[in-house]
């Protein structure tokens, strides 16, 4: 819903700018050439820029040990399940119940560990992406000042945008040269 509202707001802003240009009564072509507009795809930056790729690798390295622990839990649960299926009918009632209880406890622990890792991963990604977005905004400001842009929009869901006004690759280059 937020994405839809943001997209509508961006489209409204562009429509207002174009309406102002058309409504001035002067040569709108000359005025349009005087206004320099750029667009940036932040999703592409967070996916393809060197800082984003490095951040993703860093996060993956941080979470490898936890992922391996979770995989071990899954293997233990599978082994307990297999043992229960193979020998469950031949076991004493108390032994079978203990095995079932251990399997249930391990399953709950596995689910909790998975959920906690997903939450922690999300927090870490948000931290890293926040830093990258700050750097991205500085790079956009640098480009805007250097190349005299009047307006730069961050667009993700545009139906169409000319490559002529898309400065995403310029922003990525600035980020990689910082």
User: Which pLDDT tens digit goes with each residue over 16-52?
Assistant: 555 555 555 555 555 556 788 899 999 999 999 999 9
What is the spatial distance between Cα 57 and Cα 52, in angstroms, rounded to a whole number? Answer: 9
**Which range of residues forms the domain containing residue 16?**
1-35
Does residue 158 register a pLDDT over 90? no
Of 40, 53, 35, give the one whose Cα is nearest residue 148: 35
Total domain count for the chain?
2
- Distance, CA of 118 to chain centre: 14
What is the spatial distance between Cα 103 and Cα 109, in angstroms, rounded to a whole number? Answer: 10
Q: What is the DSSP letter of 48?
A: H
pLDDT band at 3 (very low <50, low <70, confident <90, very high): very low
105 with 129, same domain: the answer is yes
Of 178, 94, 96, give the one whose Cα is nearest residue 136: 178
pLDDT of 129: 93
Side-chain-side CA neighbours of 84 within 13 Å: the count stands at 18
49 with 132, same domain: the answer is yes
Strand partners, 39: 153, 166
Q: What is the pLDDT of residues 92-127, one digit of tens each?
A: 888 888 888 999 999 999 999 999 999 999 999 999
55 with 137, same domain: the answer is yes
104 with 60, same domain: the answer is yes
């Amino acid at each position: 819903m937020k994405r839809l509202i943001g997209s509508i707001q961006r489209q409204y802003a562009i429509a207002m700018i174009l309406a102002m240009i058309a409504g001035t009564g002067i040569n709108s072509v000359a005025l349009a050439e005087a206004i320099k507009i750029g667009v940036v795809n932040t999703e592409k930056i967070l996916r393809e820029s060197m800082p984003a790729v490095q951040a993703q690798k860093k996060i993956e390295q941080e979470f490898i040990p936890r992922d391996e622990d979770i995989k071990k839990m899954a293997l233990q649960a599978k082994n307990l399940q297999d043992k229960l299926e193979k020998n469950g009918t031949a076991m004493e009632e108390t032994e079978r119940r203990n095995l079932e209880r251990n399997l249930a406890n391990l399953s709950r622990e596995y689910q909790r560990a998975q959920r906690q890792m997903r939450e922690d991963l999300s927090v870490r990604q948000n931290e890293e992406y926040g830093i990258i977005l700050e750097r991205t905004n500085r790079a956009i400001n640098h480009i805007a000042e250097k190349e005299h842009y009047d307006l730069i929009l961050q667009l993700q869901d545009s139906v169409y945008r000319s490559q002529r006004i898309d400065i995403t690759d310029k922003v990525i280059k600035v980020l990689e040269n910082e």
